[in-house]
Amino acid sequence: MKPQAVRGMNDLLPEQSPVWAYVEGVVRDLIESYGYREIRLPIIEQTELFRRSIGEVTDIVEKEMYTFVDRNGESLTLRPEATAGMVRAGISNGLLHNQRQKLWTVGPMFRHEKPQQGRYRQFHQFDVEAMGYAGPDVDAELIIMCARLWKRLGLSHLTLEINSLGTPQSRQRYREALVAYFSAVKSRLDEDSIRRLEQNPLRILDSKNPDLREIIDAAPLMLDFLDTESAQHFAAVREFLDAAGVPYKVNPRLVRGLDYYTRTVFEWLTDALGAQGAVCSGGRYDGLVEKLGGRATPAIGWAMGVERLVALYEVCGGKVAARLPDVYVVAVGERATTAAFALAESLRDASPSIWPELNLGGGNFTAQLKRADRSGARYAVILGEDEITGGRVAVKPLRLGEAQFDVPVSALAAELHKRLRDH
């Protein structure tokens, strides 16, 4: 039996890596241009960190975490998202004492979900967090940053939904209203929702069960329960977005699947990827740093799914070709094979922008030329006994219909450089 990757975990094959590298590079440059600095975090954290931050009664903590006991009997979890680790790192490294931090990271996340197109058990996220910023300017900027990214990548089919979840106090009043409402229609709820009714009624709004659509649509709205300050904060975020010309829809049902959010929450959605519509989601989490043991620190961030972003880039017509070698070095005979090493390395010395590929594993002239052709290189440089004796090499163009020529070895790099630059 052939070995298989773990279900829902993908290999990223060489054909796909150029588009990933390109898209990731664009995202990285953009994020850094807004003043965010990279932080790299462990993929494993103590289970308790996720339980406390994401919340006990959430899909992630209830049924999606990869949790295991290590050899010391400690319960550890493969991170299902990055915010908890970011906040933990901020606290444990003292990054939040009298300072503000704008941080980003990228890497794999793990959730035991039902694998399907756009939904995997190992997937990748860019994660951006601003800690120590009370907003609403930063809320708006984080969203505007995404809009700029869509433009840079040439993406369309993206819409923005925003909402405010208020403060824990105003949310408590809303929660009571929800419990009253859902209790009255309890017989029509599904099992998950009945369980959540007492523990975490907001989660019912997040249900993906289509049978509950109607009941959820008629439930009370958080926006009617907002405290004055949260309402002002939300209005200011909207004003900044309006001024920046970033269109949005206020979706009073948007609650997000994690417990730690306060005030602004948002989601960038697409209808171009089938059922998996969320490309980037985020929100403010003013209570989380304190909850995890730090000093009270307002904060906000977003997470973007790289698989979905790359898929959307391709759906929108984006293509990235792999960079091919410029020159394939063909060498026939023992002396030439040895000389070919020196030649290839001297080309690299001359300019890092020239990419030579050395023929490896010998072979006769025809076989080597075939490999040269398959490599996609523009030129084959041919080294044989005659060439070595004469101090010259033959250059056979493989693509553009140029004529074959020969040059002294000492002039090869300059000649290639000129030709590669001119085309």
Q: Which residues in this chain contact ligand ATP in the complex, by CB under 6 A?
A: 81, 111, 113, 118-120, 123, 125, 257, 276, 278-281, 303, 305, 307-308
Long-range contacts formed by 347-351: CB under 8 A, 24+ apart:
347/412, 347/413, 347/416, 350/413, 350/414, 350/417, 351/413, 351/417
Q: Which is nearer to ligand ATP, 125 or 368 (CB)?
A: 125
Q: Which is nearer to ligand ATP, 307 or 387 (CB)?
A: 307
Q: Which is nearer to ligand ATP, 283 or 356 (CB)?
A: 283
**What is the smallest separation between the CB atom of 280 and ligand ATP, expressed in angstroms?**
5
Cβ(246)–Cβ(198) below 8 Å: no
Q: Which is nearer to ligand ATP, 318 or 325 (CB)?
A: 318
Structure tokens at 143: 């969203």
**What is the smallest separation between the CB atom of 190 and ligand ATP, expressed in angstroms?**
18
For residues 311 and 92, give the distance between their C-alpha atoms in angstroms, rounded to a whole number: 36
H helices, E strands: number in the chain: 16, 16
Secondary element (H or E) of residue 282? strand 278-284
Q: Which is nearer to ligand ATP, 206 or 415 (CB)?
A: 206
**What is the smallest separation between the CB atom of 58 and ligand ATP, expressed in angstroms?**
10
For residues 347 and 341, give the distance between their C-alpha atoms in angstroms, rounded to a whole number: 10
Q: Which is nearer to ligand ATP, 112 or 173 (CB)?
A: 112
For residues 17 and 23, give the distance between their C-alpha atoms in angstroms, rounded to a whole number: 10
Tokens 């793990």, residue located = 110
**What is the smallest separation between the CB atom of 4 and ligand ATP, expressed in angstroms?**
19
**What is the smallest separation between the CB atom of 131 and ligand ATP, expressed in angstroms?**
18
With CB atoms as reference, the residue minimizing the distance to ligand ATP is: 305
Q: Which is nearer to ligand ATP, 31 or 303 (CB)?
A: 303
For residues 363 and 378, give the distance between their C-alpha atoms in angstroms, rounded to a whole number: 20
3-state secondary structure of 12: coil
Task: Answer positive or negative: Cα dihedral of 285, 199, 85, 151.
Answer: negative
